């Protein structure tokens, strides 16, 4: 199998795809680390249907988005499974995975609100694993990338504040799924990877970490993505954090 992963550094969705590849034992694959922003035209130029990363090319087959990638990986490498064979259990995992994609969108909006206040941290996320010349280019372009990406993902201040306020309820849902065994079971599933990476991202924020770190959701995050890199200082307004207390 010839596998190529199209990606860019600092993307939670990309990390989800990488962890699922490792879960399947696929470690020998080509990584194409694209510059954020410019990746859109590059992906379309390579014949993909949309600008989305992560994207896989497997022996000529093109697959985009974490939910499509999880299903394709179960076809390509049946064991260990990302989805249970039991139909009812599979539907539950699929629903949690879809919910996790919505959590990913919320985490992204919060992240861009954080990045507008701590651009140095954002640049660190973007430049991980890149050559020194590319690090310099991305650090220089970081303010423009924050503005453009934030606008594209509708990461307004109002939306970010609402997502922070919704964080306790979302964490309660994750903890409930862990309690019932849907997440953080003996074998990890697609929903574990979709959800845990985003919790790991929030643990990198000094604003959010105190309200997450003692929850079962944090234990899952550390199990799935213990080496999530980066750090964001305490930068959010105090009124944003009131619903978390």
Rounded Cα–Cα distance for residues 230 and 228 (Å): 7
* Cβ atoms within 10 Å, residue 11: 21
- Token pair belonging to 24: 């399947």
Angle at 45 between CA 39 and CA 48, to 5 degrees: 85
pLDDT at position 163:
97
pLDDT at position 177:
98
pLDDT at 3 exceeding the cut of 90: yes
Question: Could you tell me how many residues make up the chain?
Answer: 245
The runs of H, that is alpha helices, within 181-233 are 190-203, 216-224
Domain ranges in the chain with CATH number 3.40.30.10: 3-76
Domain ranges in the chain with CATH number 1.20.1050: 87-244
The pTM of the full predicted model, rounded to 2 decimals, is 0.90
pLDDT at position 134:
65
The runs of H, that is alpha helices, within 118-215 are 119-127, 132-152, 157-180, 190-203
Pick from 241, 182, 190: nearest CA to 212:
241
pLDDT digits (tens, 9 = 90+) for 33-83: 998 878 888 999 999 999 899 999 999 899 999 999 999 999 999 999 999
pLDDT at position 127:
63
Asked if the peptide bond before residue 80 counts as cis, ω within 30 degrees of 0, the response is yes
Strands 3-7 and 30-33: parallel
The 3-state DSSP class for residue 94 equals helix
Rounded Cα–Cα distance for residues 77 and 24 (Å): 7
The 3-state DSSP class for residue 57 equals strand
- Which of these CATH numbers, 3.40.109.10, 3.40.30.10, 3.30.450.40, 3.40.50.2300, describes 3-76? 3.40.30.10
More confident position, 138 or 229: 229
Write out the H or E segment, with its range, that includes residue 55. Answer: strand 55-58
pLDDT at position 36:
81
* Cβ atoms within 10 Å, residue 226: 9
Pick from 39, 73, 17, 57: nearest CA to 193:
17
Q: Report DSSP state, residue 14.
A: H
Q: Report DSSP state, residue 35.
A: P
Q: Mean pLDDT across the stretch 209-218?
A: 97
pLDDT digits (tens, 9 = 90+) for 16-26: 999 999 999 99
- Which of these CATH numbers, 3.30.450, 1.20.1050, 1.20.81, 1.10.3470, describes 87-244? 1.20.1050
- Token pair belonging to 18: 């990488």
Rounded Cα–Cα distance for residues 178 and 1 (Å): 34
pLDDT class of 84 with cuts at 50, 70, 90: very high
pLDDT digits (tens, 9 = 90+) for 109-165: 999 899 888 877 766 766 666 677 766 666 676 677 777 777 777 889 999 999 999
């Amino acid at each position: 199998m010839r596998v190529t992963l199209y990606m860019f550094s600092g993307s939670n969705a990309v990390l989800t795809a990488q962890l699922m590849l490792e879960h399947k034992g696929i470690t020998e694959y080509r990584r194409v680390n694209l510059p954020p922003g410019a990746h859109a035209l590059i992906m379309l130029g390579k014949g993909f249907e949309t600008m989305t990363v992560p994207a896989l090319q497997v022996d000529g087959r093109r697959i985009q988005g974490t939910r499509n990638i999880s299903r394709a990986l179960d076809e390509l490498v049946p064991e260990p499974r990302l989805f249970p064979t039991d139909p009812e259990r599979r539907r539950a995992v699929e629903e949690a995975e879809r919910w996790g994609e919505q959590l990913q969108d919320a985490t992204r909006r919060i992240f861009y609100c954080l990045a507008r206040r701590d651009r140095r941290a954002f640049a660190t996320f973007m430049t991980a694993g890149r050559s020194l010349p590319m690090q310099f280019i991305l650090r220089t372009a970081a303010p423009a990338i924050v503005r453009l990406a934030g606008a594209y993902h509708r990461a307004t201040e109002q939306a970010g504040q609402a997502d922070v306020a919704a964080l306790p309820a979302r964490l309660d849902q994750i903890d409930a799924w862990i309690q019932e065994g849907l997440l953080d079971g003996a074998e990890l599933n697609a929903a574990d990877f979709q959800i845990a990476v985003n919790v790991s991202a929030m643990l990198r924020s000094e604003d959010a970490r105190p309200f997450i770190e003692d929850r079962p959701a944090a234990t899952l995050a550390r199990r799935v993505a213990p080496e999530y890199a980066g750090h964001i200082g305490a930068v959010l307004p105090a009124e944003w954090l009131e619903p978390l207390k």
